[in-house]
Amino acid sequence: MIQTSLKNLLRNKVRSLLTSLGIIIGVAVIISLVSISEGLKQEADSQLGGAEYIQISNSIMGATSNLNDDLLKRLDKINDIEIYASEISFFIKSFNGKDLSATSTVAAGNIQLIQGIGVEPEKIPYFENALPYNNKLQGRLLFKDEKNSIMINDKFAKDENLFIGNSVELNGRNFRIVGIFTLETSLGASGTVIMNIDTARELSNYAEDEFSSVYLLPKIETKTLLLRLKEIFPDYRVSSSQQSGQSLNTFLGTLTIALWFVSSISAFVGGIGIMNTMLMSVMERINEFGVLKAIGWKDVHITYMILLEAVLLGVTGGVIGTLLGLIGSYMVEAITSIPTIVSAGLIFQAMIFAVFVGVLSSLYPASVASKMSPVEAVRYE
């Protein structure tokens, strides 16, 4: 029966391919879009992993938040804090002579964002296994008074062919790379550059007493200190690294469901096309079904044959769609530096979905074919 179903599909290869086009597009969209969500989720887990800490900022994105030294003075009075470190987050405007402003990168068709992070070098060792730029380091950390040295993430170094000891230009100023740390991306940014916080103020629009966020390690249970800080600083956003990870994972989980839904619309629209084409195919093969029934085929055999053709169309569409989705996922990461992950589980789910759409679309044509009278079918002109 498999051989018969395969021959039926190969009678008209072009029509069979066009019939599965809806599934191909749906699967390709699923692989491409969901791989972005999965990549962002893994990237978030890697950045928020390690020792738990508490962050204080004015908003979710530190780059839009300005705090000042008054906050640090109030933190000094809280005995349950082991240590805190202020940080500045901003976006680099030029890199090695290349203008990275939004208007120029969009006009050039290549969106590149490099995140600059100003830190207090002397406090970095206290946050070992907490902040990502303190782990799996090649070279060394920054020294306290180093103003013209930087650390960069490994993917950025690979993309730009940079090594320890190289000099780069950032915002019109030259810096030497002293360390490379492991971090795939900065949630969509092309690269992450760590520098002295005083240098970051000079390259950004932060005043001398301003910063974007504060990281602190608790002496007591994190949850207890977190609740206390929320009471003391009701006007600030106070969260733990664990909370941030849970919130982000919840958001990305919802995003994945939404992407599956949007992609499914395309596939189900294609399913209607499959049903229409297979119904036409059934009407063209009425004599064939009459002959098969005359030689002993039962209704269930006709149904199985039509469903098997649908399975083969679904598998074909799933395989081609997966290949196109892999290409699309690779292109997204190559062009935008947004991390993507195509797991075996995602491919398996997409293939099951493709077969399901194919079979569902063929149920009605299979029912029509199986209910034909053999005498009327043979006589059908």
Q: How far apart are CA 225 and CA 54, in angstroms?
A: 9
Beta bridge partners of 85: 215
Q: How far apart are CA 280 and CA 365, in angstroms?
A: 9
Q: How far apart are CA 159 and CA 62, in angstroms?
A: 26
Q: How far apart are CA 222 and CA 301, in angstroms?
A: 65
- DSSP E strands: which ranges in 219-324? 237-240
- DSSP E strands: which ranges in 67-224? 67-68, 81-91, 94-95, 98-99, 114-119, 138-139, 149-153, 167-170, 173-181, 191-196, 210-211, 213-218
The two most distant CA atoms of the chain are separated, in Å, by 96
**Per-residue pLDDT, 373:** 65
Residue-wise pLDDT for 76-114, tens only, equals 999 899 889 999 999 999 998 888 875 444 434 455 788
Task: For residue 381, give the nearest of 293, 284, 289, 299 by alpha carbon.
Answer: 284
By 3-state DSSP, what share of the chain in percent is helix, strand and coil, each rounded to 5? 55, 20, 25
Q: How far apart are CA 90 and CA 210, in angstroms?
A: 13
Per-domain boundaries in the chain = 2-42+248-379, 59-235
Strands 210-211 and 67-68: antiparallel
3 state SS of 94: strand
Residue-wise pLDDT for 121-147, tens only, equals 998 888 776 676 666 678 998 998 899
Q: How far apart are CA 372 and CA 177, in angstroms?
A: 77
Model's pTM, two decimal places? 0.58
**Per-residue pLDDT, 316:** 86
Question: pLDDT tens per residue, the chain (381 residues)?
Answer: 556 555 655 566 666 777 778 788 888 888 888 888 788 777 666 655 555 788 888 865 444 557 888 899 999 999 899 889 999 999 999 998 888 875 444 434 455 788 999 999 998 888 776 676 666 678 998 998 899 999 998 888 988 999 999 999 999 999 999 999 887 545 557 789 999 999 999 998 888 888 999 999 888 888 898 899 999 998 888 888 766 666 666 777 787 788 778 777 777 777 777 777 777 777 777 667 677 777 777 777 777 787 887 888 888 888 999 999 999 888 888 877 677 888 888 899 888 988 888 888 878 777 777 776 665 655 555
Structure tokens at 318: 């799933």
Structure tokens at 159: 């993309």
Per the document, the length of the chain is 381
Please provide the distance, in angstroms rounded to a whole number, between the alpha carbons at the two ends of the chain.
Answer: 26
